Chain A
């Protein structure tokens, strides 16, 4: 058994060195001006990413440059732990520091909704859409991450949150779609390119914020503000997404990588 493992890792190492397995970065740069989720003003708000210099080869530290940074657990490309939502608050191993580490390296399925989301900014991913995808790519394997590709990460400025007087307009899943993924496909987590795992208008869905409510209530994880999903195959890639080990953390900004097998030609 150990010999088999060792062979698999050696094969991986060889493929990485040869470039036949490519590492794709799915992360946005932590930038002070990158949008964060905006809640009604009387609620607490998501802290923006900020940096302050401690020294920069100057009188504060002549030979070294370093800074303090501050942000929310939910700033930039970030991971949502089950404890983030009230439905997951009493689950075991539900904060970022206690989630078993194997959750952070898993196969990933990418459901391409980019055309639909371009045509309809309030596009909702339904069970039917998932099932149609499975006809082409096979049933989503248990324990996988599922990412909803919308190409939303290519938007910038005001188009990203797409905030209007009646709230944000961005795509996301329906409650039934999340139920299918969680209860039947038994995924480990769900990720999006938008600022949250839920659609911009998800407060008006039933239950409100179904991705947050159902995923985290079932002990599943979320990823949001992902980028470069257009560089991933529908199936076959491995997602690497370890959050910072913050005590009792509800989430964390993180670097998300995918290992992708390059087409051999």
Chain B
């Protein structure tokens, strides 16, 4: 049984902060498709289009029929532990620092046997549920979990290296003025976050929900305006060393395409929040988080961006906002480059139209702030980096993967009633 995680002790100021070390990161170009699926929390292997043989590890050619038509597909995640060992020594620094480490061979229901990390609650020869996740190197790995939930299962030492569990961690939510921000704060508290710093811009303007927000356990309201470099830098100076998780809930949304707009003032405001806001946060908090990727049980672990799915492909009804979201998505990819090797994940949640005032006239289905907040917590506890939320977003992402140019045509062609 997994021992419950204890609240991490206060940091010993005389001890040097452990630098992040990494598990092996080299992958073939083919195998990166496994990482991409793992980043979405999908368990996918190559399946031969000709003979349906499931292949592992990644190959160019089907080992059974020599067909070159291998397709990455989601496969059943069931399997059985057939052999295991516990590493007690290693020449790899990352594993040396984390001994003992349990690995084993799993016979997958889908066919192949695979090498995987093993959760502490999996017994010899037991049935397992496989997950694919990105590890501290950012590469896809497999882990065998108990088939059924066990007590404190999420607290397993090895599993926690793949997840960004908020339990006992400290989080910064960048905008607590909105319902979305407040729901995210509450969800973090419910998930066991020990302290939640909540940025509030322009405290000279009242906002709904302020009292309830301050009543949430662990909440500390802080002045923060992502459009103001000084404010972002001042907050980072004050609590940047305690940002284990950063969730950027600040967004600026207005309807209208370039031709429906009069001037660039609103578009600048969009960029100030959605793009430059993110950039200010990265410059102020990025270095501290990157340096703390291996800082014990409450290491820095995740940077969460909440982005409209129209960041992928412009929807002219919200044309200039979509453009600013596209800029933010691109910047989040740059951040992934900055964070590579730090063990800190960049989690992007692409959501469909949100239930909030600037999207009020849009028809359902919409994503509620509560649903988005729950999804953020799910992504953190599961360690999933790329999340798509809501039927509209799922549809857009599916079409984007099929053919981004077809999607662009669909979103920009004449619409009935427009």
Are the C-beta atoms of B228 and A158 separated by less than 8 Å?
no
B203 contacts across to A, CB distance below 8 A: 33, 157-158
A34 nearest in chain B by CB position = B204
Among the listed A33, A41, A52, A157, which residue makes an inter-chain contact with B231, where contact means beta carbons less than 8 Å apart?
Answer: A33
B204 and A50: CB pair below 8 A?
no
A91 interfacial contact with B, CB 8 Å: no
- A164 lies within 8 A of chain B by Cβ: yes
**Contact residues, B199-245 vs A (CB, 8 A):** 202-206, 223, 225, 227-231
Q: Residues of A contacting B225 with CB < 8 Å?
A: 32-33
Cβ contact of A52, chosen from B202, B205, B229, cutoff 8 A? B229
Residues in chain A near residue B266, CB distance under 8 A: 44
Contact A32 B231 (CB under 8 A): yes
Interface residues on B, range: 10 to 19
**A209 CB within 8 Å of chain B:** no
Q: In the complex, which residues of chain B have a beta carbon less than 8 angstroms from the beta carbon of A41?
A: 357
Q: Is the CB–CB distance between A161 and B204 below 8 Å?
A: yes
Interface flag for A160 (CB, 8 Å): yes
Q: Does B265 contact A (CB under 8 A)?
A: yes
A143 close to B (CB within 8 Å): no
Whether B206 contacts A163 by the Cβ 8 Å rule is yes
Bound-state Cα–Cα, A163 to B205, Å: 7
CB-CB under 8 A from B231, the residues of chain A are 32-33
How far is it, in angstroms, between the C-alpha of A161 and the C-alpha of B238 when the chains are bound?
28
The verdict on A33 contacting B206 (CB below 8 Å), with A44-B266, A50-B227 known, is: no
A255 within 8 Å of B (CB atoms) = no
Chain A residue, CB-CB nearest to B265: A44
How far does the alpha carbon of A51 sit from the alpha carbon of B233 in the complex, in Å? 12
Bits for A141-175, please: 1 = Cβ < 8 Å to B, else 0: 00000000000000011101101100000000000
A32-B230, A48-B228, A50-B228 known; A158 vs B206 contact (CB < 8 Å): yes
A38 at the interface (CB under 8 A from B): yes
Q: How far is the CB of A124 from chain B (nearest CB, A)?
A: 23
Q: Does A35 contact B (CB under 8 A)?
A: yes
Chain A proximity of B380: nearest CB distance (Å): 31
**Are the CB atoms of B205 and A158 closer together than 8 Å?**
yes
Closest beta carbon of chain B to A205's beta carbon, Å = 23
Residues of B within 8 A of A157 (CB): 203-204
B263's nearest neighbour on chain A, judged by CB, is A44
> Within the assembled complex, what's the spacing in Å between the Cα atoms of A193 and B185?
38
**Min distance, Cβ B13 to any Cβ of chain A, angstroms:** 29
Chain B residues with CB under 8 A of A161: 204-205
Check A50 against B229 for contact (C-beta < 8 Å): yes
* Residues from chain A with Cβ under 8 Å of B227 in the complex: 48, 50
Task: Select the residue from A32, A38, A161 with max chain B CB neighbours within 10 A.
Answer: A32
Q: What residues of A have a CB within 8 angstroms of the CB of B205 in the complex?
A: 35, 38, 158, 161, 163
Report the separation of the CA atoms of residues A45 and B266 in the bound assembly, to the nearest whole angstrom: 9
CA distance A53 to B280 in the complex (A): 12
The answer for the CA separation of A52 and B229 in the assembled complex, in Å, is: 7
Chain A residues contacting B357 (CB-CB under 8 Å) are 41
Complex-state Cα separation, A249 to B203, whole angstroms: 30
A250 to chain B: closest CB distance in Å?
A: 14
Asked whether B202 lies within 8 Å of A33 as measured between CB atoms, the reply is yes
Q: Kindly report which residue of chain A lies nearest to residue B262, judged by CB atoms.
A: A44
CA distance A156 to B203 in the complex (A): 10
Interface residue from B204, B230, B265 paired with A158 (Cβ < 8 Å): B204
Q: Are A51 and B204 in contact (CB under 8 A)?
A: no
Q: Which residues in B have their C-beta under 8 angstroms from that of A35?
A: 202, 204-205
B residues 362-392 with Cβ under 8 Å of A? Answer: none
Which chain A residue has the least Cβ–Cβ distance from B202?
A33
Complex Cα spacing A44 to B263, Å: 11
- In the complex, the chain A residue whose C-beta lies closest to that of B233 is A53
Q: How far is the CA of A163 from the CA of B210 in the complex (A)?
A: 15
1/0 per residue A31-68: CB within 8 Å of B? 01101001001001101101111000000000000000
CA distance A48 to B203 in the complex (A): 14
Which A residues are in CB contact (< 8 Å) with B230? 32, 51
Nearest residue, chain A, Cβ from B203: A157
Across the interface, which residues of B come within 8 angstroms of A48, CB to CB?
A: 227-228
Apart from the given pairs A38-B205, A156-B204, A161-B205, 9 other A-B contacts in the complex at a CB distance below 8 Å: A32-B225, A32-B231, A33-B202, A33-B203, A45-B269, A48-B227, A51-B230, A52-B229, A158-B206
Q: Which residues of B contact A (CB under 8 A)?
A: 202-206, 223, 225, 227-231, 265-266, 269, 357
Show 8 residue pairs from A and B whose CB-CB distance is below 8 angstroms, ordered by the A residue: A32-B228, A32-B230, A33-B231, A38-B205, A47-B265, A51-B229, A53-B229, A157-B204
> Shortest 3 CB-CB distances between A and B: which pairs?
A35-B204, A32-B228, A158-B204
